[in-house]
């Protein structure tokens, strides 16, 4: 396996062609591997085979070059026989009880089991709780008649993507890798060493799994802290962002985190609950993590309350008010709306009787989502349009939004992102 990898003769199969899988496709192709992509979404498969990217920050021209160079996508999992390496990049959401939902991982592995063969390697990249690789993957591979570490190799290497951040690419972000056995780890390090500048080997798949959770829990807890501080500072009439900027001048012992309308994306709002759920198996209560989750989950309601008060001070109610939401992606300069706090805020305002529109230069139409629906297109941003709304909510601070135009023409602005730092009668910080 290692010889095949070093000679770039190993065929790489990427299962799940989304925000994690597609960058890996392009990177493995870029360095000379033959790549086959697997996805159950037939529409996505057809788009990719036509050289068309469905993700804004992944350009279609790079995908078209990959297709011309031999990349192909398929929904036929029987073709897993053709590949030497299977990298699983499938979602790991929460269920309605906020417990881990491993159905995508388990269903994917079950779909692949009839077609795996001796000598292959499988890498799980999906975020999950410690023990998943051993309990859900290794046991199935062993039940299939293979000896993990001898005739089948299994690793866990968590994804680390930062969409919209040009300072980091798939190649330059260090890659943690843990193996089920030393031989498994050796194959994993060899594989990722061909495409990633720095591979960080760890002693087990469980260490790698917990590493990913710690990274995102660290962010969730610190964001929860500044969100709580924001509420306190607001009661005191203090601008929390000015406080954070001042504290950030300390050259040691402080890392600035900034408040917002809540947490979004597939990782930070979800991953902490994977650990809290698993910790209960060991009789441990993760109170600190759960408290941060409560604070962050309450932020959309906090923003709605600020809108209510701001409208009430202008002798208006939320019911019947026209409200424009600026930005529905979960963070600036991307088109990803998964778990976006903007969407939760929009739903709460709609339930209160507001008339909702949105503007997002990265999301032309409100996307199909499992649990949320708005039949809306992004409205054009103009002086006339801005002046027609009772309230404009700054939910995501995309660089492509002209906030000076917003300042000049909106009657009322509720700013959750600290875009407007100066005081003005028509601007409310939230």
Catalytic residues: 267
Q: How far apart are CA 41 and CA 39, in angstroms?
A: 5
| Nearest of 90, 82, 156 to residue 119 by alpha carbon | 82
Q: How far apart are CA 228 and CA 220, in angstroms?
A: 12
Q: How far apart are CA 390 and CA 24, in angstroms?
A: 45
Cβ–Cβ contacts within 10 Å for residue 99, how many? 13
| Sheet (strand 121-124) strand order | 72-74, 34-38, 11-15, 85-88, 121-124, 153-156, 175-179, 199-202
Cα–Cα distances in angstroms (integers) from residue 30 to residues 33, 53, 61, 388, in the given order: 7, 16, 13, 49
* Assigned token pair, 204: 């087990």
Cβ–Cβ contacts within 10 Å for residue 57, how many? 18
Cα–Cα distances in angstroms (integers) from residue 341 to residues 159, 331, 413, in the given order: 23, 10, 17
Q: How far apart are CA 273 and CA 143, in angstroms?
A: 30
Task: Break the chain down into helix, strand, coil percent, rounded to 5.
Answer: 40, 15, 45
Work out whether the CA dihedral 150, 152, 153, 156 comes out positive or negative.
Answer: negative
> Taking a C-beta distance cutoff of 8 angstroms, is the pair 259, 341 a contact?
no
């Amino acid at each position: 396996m290692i010889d095949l990898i070093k000679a770039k003769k190993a065929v790489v199969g990427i299962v799940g062609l989304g925000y994690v899988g597609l960058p890996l496709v392009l990177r493995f192709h870029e360095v000379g591997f033959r790549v086959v992509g697997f996805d159950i979404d037939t529409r996505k498969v057809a788009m990719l085979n036509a050289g068309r990217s469905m993700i804004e920050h992944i350009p279609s021209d790079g995908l078209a070059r990959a297709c011309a160079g031999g990349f192909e996508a398929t929904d036929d999992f029987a073709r897993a026989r053709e590949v030497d390496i299977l990298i699983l990049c499938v979602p790991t959401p929460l269920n309605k009880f906020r417990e881990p939902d491993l159905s995508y991982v388990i269903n994917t592995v079950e779909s692949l089991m009839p077609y795996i063969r001796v000598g292959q390697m499988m890498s799980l990249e999906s975020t999950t709780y410690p023990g998943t690789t051993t309990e859900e993957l290794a046991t199935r591979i062993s039940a299939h008649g293979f000896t993990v570490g001898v005739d089948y190799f299994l690793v866990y290497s968590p994804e680390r993507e930062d969409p919209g951040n040009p300072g980091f690419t798939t190649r330059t972000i260090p890659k943690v890798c843990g193996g089920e056995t030393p031989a498994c780890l050796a194959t994993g390090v060899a594989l990722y060493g061909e495409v990633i500048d720095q591979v960080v080997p760890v002693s087990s798949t469980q260490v790698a799994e917990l590493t990913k959770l710690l990274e995102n829990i660290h962010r969730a807890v610190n964001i929860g802290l500044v969100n709580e501080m924001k509420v306190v500072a607001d009661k005191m009439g203090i601008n929390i962002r000015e406080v954070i900027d001042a504290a950030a001048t300390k050259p040691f012992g402080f890392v600035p985190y900034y408040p917002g309308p809540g947490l979004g994306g597939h990782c930070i709002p979800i991953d902490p609950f994977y650990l809290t759920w698993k910790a209960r198996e060991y009789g441990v209560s993760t109170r600190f993590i759960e408290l941060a989750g409560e604070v962050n989950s309450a932020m959309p309601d906090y923003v709605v309350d600020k809108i209510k008060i701001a409208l009430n001070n202008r002798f208006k109610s939320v019911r019947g008010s026209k409200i424009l939401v600026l930005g529905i992606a979960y963070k600036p300069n991307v088109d990803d709306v998964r778990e976006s706090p903007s969407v939760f805020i929009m739903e709460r305002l709609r339930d209160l009787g507001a008339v909702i529109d949105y503007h997002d230069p990265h999301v032309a139409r409100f996307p199909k989502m499992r649990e949320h629906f708005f039949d809306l297109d992004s409205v054009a941003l103009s002086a006339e349009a801005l002046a027609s709304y009772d309230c404009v909510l700054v939910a995501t601070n995309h660089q492509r939004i002209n906030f000076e135009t917003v300042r000049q023409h909106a009657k009322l602005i509720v700013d959750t992102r600290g875009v407007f730092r100066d005081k003005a009668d028509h601007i409310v910080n939230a």
